[in-house]
């Protein structure tokens, strides 16, 4: 995949900092392709989506000496067509993190504790090539071990948005039948255009409501509210 656009953004960010521009201009935006591959009795099935992360360095509240990062995601969930006219959706969120899509590369980037905060923001661009997501993110700081995968769902009836159901990434056969299993989920930096069109594949009332989806996190049952933003963010309709 081409990375020229991203490398250019890094150069521009460096120039802005060296010429005295504010820190708000120093965070590179980037795009990545999220790909989901599924083994089926009819062979390998896959789907992908290009997602954009826009970063802004900020000085939060009344702490002029502190810096924080605001991350905004633009893009769509991945749809994988499976046998029997079934569809698997990999959402822009995970089981426990509604902002999962904006943090994937933060968790994949190499450690950089010796760098200045603003310089660390460029490290995501060092995660080049296709990277297979691990099943779990290891514990770090105050965060416990957690799923590295996006939330997977399907619709029992594509004309009924309330028929949405969680798909267990470790047991796709329970949702789609024998012989169906998740092979892998990968990400790769790219400057390809963002993917569009998923709205045409969703039950039409979805964007106007939220639907309870029961799931378990760390053995505790939760009701997750799913709406349009889980499937599409910041993409012009």
**What pLDDT, on the 0 to 100 scale, is given for residue 212?**
65
DSSP state letter for 29: P
Is residue 92 within 8 A of residue 101, CB to CB? The reply is yes
pLDDT at 65 over 70: no
Residue 200 corresponds to which tokens in the numbers above? 């045409």
Confidence at 29, pLDDT banded by 50, 70, 90: very high
Query: Counting Cβ atoms within 10 Å, is residue 177 exposed (0-12), middle (13-18) or buried (19+)?
Result: middle
DSSP state letter for 92: S
**What pLDDT, on the 0 to 100 scale, is given for residue 235?**
80
Tell me the backbone φ, ψ of residue 54, rounded to 5 degrees.
-105, 125
Residue with more model confidence, 4 or 135: 135
Lowest mean pLDDT among 19-28, 93-102, 183-192, 217-226: 19-28
Locus of tokens 């990277």: 131
Lowest mean pLDDT among 41-45, 110-114, 212-216: 212-216
Structurally, the chain folds into a number of domains equal to 1
* Average pLDDT estimate for 80-105: 94
Residue with more model confidence, 156 or 208: 156
Q: Which domain holds residue 62?
A: 4-233
**What pTM did the predictor assign?**
0.81
Q: Coil, strand or helix: which one is 128? A: coil
């Amino acid at each position: 995949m081409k990375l020229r656009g991203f490398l250019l953004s890094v150069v521009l960010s460096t120039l802005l900092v060296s010429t005295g521009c504010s820190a708000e201009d120093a965070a590179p935006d980037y795009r990545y392709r999220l790909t989901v591959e599924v083994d089926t009795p009819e062979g390998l099935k896959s789907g992908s989506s290009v997602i954009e992360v826009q970063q802004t360095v900020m000085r939060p509240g009344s702490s002029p000496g502190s810096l924080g990062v605001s991350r905004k995601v633009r893009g769509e969930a991945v749809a994988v067509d499976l046998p029997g006219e079934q569809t698997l959706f990999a959402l822009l969120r995970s089981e426990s993190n509604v902002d999962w899509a904006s943090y994937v590369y933060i968790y994949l980037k190499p450690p950089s504790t010796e760098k200045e905060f603003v310089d660390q923001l460029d490290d995501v661009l060092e995660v080049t090539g296709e990277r297979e997501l691990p099943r779990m993110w290891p514990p770090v700081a105050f965060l416990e071990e957690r799923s590295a995968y996006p939330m997977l769902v399907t619709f029992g009836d594509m004309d009924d948005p309330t028929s949405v159901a969680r798909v267990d990434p470790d047991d796709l056969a329970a949702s789609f039948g024998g012989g169906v299993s998740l092979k892998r989920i990968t990400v790769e930096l790219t400057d390809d255009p963002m993917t569009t069109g998923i709205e045409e594949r969703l039950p039409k009332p979805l964007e106007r409501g939220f639907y309870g989806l029961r799931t378990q996190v760390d053995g505790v049952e939760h009701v997750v509210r799913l709406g349009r933003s889980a499937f599409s963010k910041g993409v012009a309709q």
